[in-house]
Amino acid sequence: MLEVKQLRALYGDSLVLHGIDLKIAPSERVAVIGRNGAGKSTLLKSIMGGGPAAHGVLQWNGADLHRLKGFERTRLGLSLVPEDRRIFPHLTVVENLEIARHATAKGKTPASPEAMIRFFPMLETLKARFGNQLSGGQQQLLAVARGLLPMPKLLLLDEPTEGLAPIIVEQMAKSINAICDEHRVALLLSEQNLWFARQCTHALHVLDTGRIVFSGTWDEFDAYPEVRNRHLAV
């Protein structure tokens, strides 16, 4: 499905990613973990064409993504939930969800806002609130629900738990797993919260200063504590 080879990404003259290789198969769930500044967000933005200048192989089902604008990548079945959420402040929760229908890939049927709210029950009592009336945690749940409403083939989820209360993190993990299981959505998760990443994914890549320094399952990661100590410890 998604294939990345020797991906380099730059902001101006600053090289952030140094030859990234990874693949995401249908329904696969993979985490990219690392410290702040490791390049996790840059990786997701590069895949979506969302800012950095990207060089190398970026293919979606064999098609070259470099030739496509961000909205065109979305309509192929990719969906990015950015770290800064991008909730529309002047729209209600339901309207923020409804607008995501326009990102539905050809041949896919989007979920309804009501269906997404059932997956994210904390939004039930907030349906009529405007985006600027929500707390940070509520906005994050809404952003994830909005990213999933088009039923993408691959969800790119960028640091969703940052600054959230544990109860919201737990609810988010349950909701994401339920939707991915039911609708066979693949996941590429950028995250520092190892508990959340374990709950939502089966494998991981450790990113450090723009390079992948470890790839494997969570059991394999646990077998090499030096990886955590060297590349993740603060």
User: Using CA atoms, how far apart are residues 172 and 69, in angstroms rounded to an integer?
Assistant: 29
* Among the listed residues 3, 5, 32, the one whose alpha carbon sits nearest the alpha carbon of residue 201: 32
Element (H, E) at 119: helix 113-119
- Using the predicted structure, report yes or no on whether residue 23 has a pLDDT greater than 90: yes
Q: What are 153's two structure tokens? A: 């083939």
User: Using CA atoms, how far apart are residues 56 and 17, in angstroms rounded to an integer?
Assistant: 11
How many Cα neighbours within 13 Å face the side chain of 142? 32
Tell me what pLDDT residue 84 has: 87
* Among the listed residues 148, 142, 145, the one whose alpha carbon sits nearest the alpha carbon of residue 130: 142
What's the rounded mean pLDDT across residues 215-226? 95
Per-residue pLDDT reduced to its tens digit, 107-141? 889 999 999 999 999 999 999 999 999 999 999 99
Sheet holding 203-208, edge to edge: 78-81, 154-158, 186-191, 29-33, 203-208, 211-217
- According to CATH, the topology of domain 2-231 is Rossmann fold (3.40.50)
Cα distance between the two ends of the chain:
34
81 in Cβ contact with 149 (< 8 Å) = no
In this structure, the number of other CB atoms found within 10 A of the CB of residue 84 comes to 10
Per-residue pLDDT reduced to its tens digit, 155-190? 999 999 988 889 999 999 999 999 999 999 999 999
Where are the domains positioned within the chain?
Answer: 2-231
